[in-house]
């Protein structure tokens, strides 16, 4: 959220059970799983293949190392993906990978622990029904209940991940200088989002009215006419944006205003169309 009445970025964290938190958690989860799951699956298949080939010890070693590598990679992806989400949503990355990882991990772990405690009694009921009544309607109901509880636990974990990521982003980005406002392509709520940078921004000077071009005559070639035309006689003109250095080739820089909005007259020589400076003729 951006407050246009202030000159600093204001980022408010999402609520826990909100659509924005679910979208942010899904952004982090699927990008993490799509990288980690193939590595873990490859380690499991390699370990099983080596075990069937008679190399059980080597297979267990490959399986353990592969799962450890997948876990470490999953942990390293958390701050990276969270920073990418902050850039897409608010236009500014997160800093401090360890701090971001810890802030997201402990909040998500606490939420998952609370959910597991709440869902433990229903899980015991579902397990008892599926074990005591196999092949019956109660047994199928127990299996269905266990599946629904697992899905609910995963969804709550997504909520927790998105909520934790928004809390970290709010802590880091709130109070940054507001320099420009843009519509990001993937903003979760479609609101105006500020892009904050640390570099100072040059403030353009207010546009001025272009003075009326001087009309050269035969008499003015001998004695230049003084520029005493009133402001009301000069027709108003719409100024074009000031030229940059790349687009001012062949133009002379005005020593008075420093711009390249200069023209060269056949009689009066170089003159500035912005501030009225004219080259002194000898």
- Residue 249 reports pLDDT greater than 50: yes
Domain boundary, last residue among 169, 195, 221 = 195
Claim to verify: residue 94 and residue 174 sit in the same structural domain: yes
Domain assignment present for residue 258? The answer is yes
Domain assignment present for residue 6? The answer is no
Domain assignment present for residue 185? The answer is yes
Claim to verify: residue 94 and residue 233 sit in the same structural domain: no
Contact call for residues 102 and 68 (beta carbons, < 8 A): no
Domain extent at residue 282: 207-282
pLDDT in tens, 195-215: 444 444 444 444 554 444 443
Claim to verify: residue 186 and residue 217 sit in the same structural domain: no
Contact call for residues 275 and 262 (beta carbons, < 8 A): no
Domain boundary, last residue among 195, 228, 244 = 195
The partner residues of 265 in beta bridges, in order of sequence, read: 269
Domain assignment present for residue 51? The answer is yes
Burial of 14 (0-12, 13-18, 19+ CB in 10 A): buried
Contact call for residues 227 and 217 (beta carbons, < 8 A): no
Residue 181 has a pLDDT of 38
- Quote helix, strand, coil % in the chain, to nearest 5: 50, 5, 40
Report d(CA 261, CA 243) in Å as an integer: 7
Report d(CA 131, CA 82) in Å as an integer: 42
Claim to verify: residue 212 and residue 165 sit in the same structural domain: no
Global confidence as pTM = 0.59
Q: What is the mean pLDDT of residues 155-179?
A: 86
What is the number of domains present in the chain? 2
Residue 235 has a pLDDT of 43
Claim to verify: residue 48 and residue 186 sit in the same structural domain: yes
> Which among 25, 4, 7 has a CA at the least distance from the CA of 16?
25
Claim to verify: residue 175 and residue 63 sit in the same structural domain: yes
Domain assignment present for residue 13? The answer is no
Domain assignment present for residue 200? The answer is no
Claim to verify: residue 115 and residue 235 sit in the same structural domain: no
pLDDT in tens, 70-104: 999 999 999 999 999 999 988 889 999 999 999 99
How many other CB atoms sit within 10 Å of the CB of residue 186?
A: 9
Domain assignment present for residue 7? The answer is no
Claim to verify: residue 126 and residue 254 sit in the same structural domain: no
Domain assignment present for residue 202? The answer is no
Report d(CA 104, CA 99) in Å as an integer: 9
pLDDT in tens, 41-72: 999 999 999 989 888 899 999 999 999 999 99
Report d(CA 55, CA 49) in Å as an integer: 9
- Residue 182 reports pLDDT greater than 90: no
């Amino acid at each position: 959220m951006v407050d246009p009445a202030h000159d600093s970025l204001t980022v408010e964290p999402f609520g826990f059970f909100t659509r924005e938190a679910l979208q942010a958690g899904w952004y982090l989860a699927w990008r993490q799983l799509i990288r980690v799951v193939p590595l873990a699956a490859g380690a499991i298949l390699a370990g099983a293949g080596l075990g069937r080939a008679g190399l059980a010890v080597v297979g267990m070693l490959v399986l353990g190392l592969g799962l450890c590598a997948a876990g470490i990679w999953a942990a390293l992806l958390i701050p990276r993906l969270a920073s990418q989400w902050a850039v897409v949503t608010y236009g500014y990355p997160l800093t401090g990978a360890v701090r971001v990882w810890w802030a997201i991990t402990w909040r998500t772990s606490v939420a998952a622990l609370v959910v597991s405690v709440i869902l433990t009694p229903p899980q015991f009921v579902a397990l008892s029904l599926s074990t005591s009544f196999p092949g019956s309607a109660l047994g199928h109901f127990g299996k269905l209940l266990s599946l629904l509880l697992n899905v609910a636990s995963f969804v709550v974990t997504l909520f927790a991940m998105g909520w934790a990521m928004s809390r970290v982003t709010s802590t880091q980005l709130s109070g940054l200088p507001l320099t420009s406002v843009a519509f990001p392509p993937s903003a979760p709520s479609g609101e105006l989002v500020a892009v904050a940078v640390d570099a100072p921004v040059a403030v353009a000077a207010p546009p001025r009215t272009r003075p009326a071009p001087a009309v050269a005559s035969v008499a003015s070639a001998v004695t230049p006419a003084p520029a005493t035309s009133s402001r009301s006689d000069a027709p108003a003109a719409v100024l074009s944006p000031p030229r940059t250095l790349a687009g001012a080739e062949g133009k002379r820089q005005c020593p008075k205003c420093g711009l390249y909005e200069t023209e060269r007259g056949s009689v009066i020589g170089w003159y500035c169309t912005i501030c009225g400076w004219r080259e002194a003729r000898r």
